[in-house]
Amino acid sequence: MTLRLLAVHAHPDDESSKGAATYAHYASLGARVLVVSCTGGEAGDVQNPQLDALAMAMAERDMGGLRRIEMAGAQKAMGIEHRWLGYADSGLPESDEETVRDDSFAAIPLEISGQPLVKIMREFRPHVLISYDENGGYPHPDHIRAHQIAIWAKEKAADVTAHPELGAPWTISKLYYDRIFNSQKVNAVYQELLRRSPDSELVADFARMIEWMGERGPLPTTRVPVSEFFGVRDTALRSHASQVPLDSRHFYWPNDVQTAAWPTEDFDLIESLVPTELPETDLFAGITDEETP
């Protein structure tokens, strides 16, 4: 029995900051894990002022090419499969009045951009789909579109009348939204940091983060214990060197503190066609041989 998980992300690096330990965990157990990057991240800026000179030079002439190299490193670290959906990064508009380019991912109608993802779903036949919520996790147009395309493609992939040229229909058993970054986790890590080193700069960072976040929704339905793969997650993140400074306190929290305070990555179960009991500790809970051809 081979379990299969599909995660749909907007840009390369999103998969490493939103679920990398979970992907590595399931891959280590023999599941097939496929990450789809909807765009190439071409519109991104260099976020790491310490980026080495050679990579900086490449970023200036070919940001998309650099990010493909970085994604390959992250994929190797996690031990997963990866596919590019092939659309252009929409960029982040500076104001509500600014629009994205007509040829960018967020502007292309779902009926067009979603078909390649339908084909991937029918070929890969995942039992579990992970997506962002309706707000994209945060309101970047590509993140919102990544949510929309994942849900649209999931429905079309199961529809026997939709796009028969894209393969035999496939019904995904469980749909989750990513809740990796949630206020309960941040509060728990903050309390552990406060207990260990109350005067550290990281404690002050977390205090500001808690004030900014407020209370973001209820506890996730599903907490997957993956602390032994936090180091793998960090390696995957560091592969995206143009986007993540090596000393980033936003991305890199002490793993011993995280393991003590919140040793899981978290998700919300949105839809399940198989019986399961909440809360869960396994994304594949309820999946049986009958759902695993």
- pTM of this prediction? 0.95
The count of residues in the chain is 293
- 127: CB partners within 8 A, 6+ apart: 3, 4, 5, 172, 173, 174, 284, 287, 291, 292
pLDDT in tens, 193-208: 999 988 888 988 898 9
Strand 32-39 relative to strand 81-87, pairing: parallel
* 109 within some domain: yes
* 120 within some domain: yes
pLDDT for residue 97: 57
Tell me which residue of 112, 110, 106, 177 sits closest to 143, measured CA to CA: 106
In contact, 132 and 146? CB cutoff 8 Å: yes
pLDDT for residue 98: 66
Strand 264-272 relative to strand 174-178, pairing: antiparallel
pLDDT for residue 128: 98
Residues of the chain with pLDDT below 50 are none
* 257 within some domain: no
pLDDT for residue 22: 98
pLDDT for residue 217: 65
CATH code at position 234 = 3.40.50.10320
- Domain count within the chain: 1
* 12 within some domain: yes
* 74 within some domain: yes
- 254: CB partners within 8 A, 6+ apart: 193, 202
- The domain of 56 spans 4-181+221-252+263-291
Q: Given the structure tokens 């977390």, which residue do they identify?
A: 206
* 193 within some domain: no
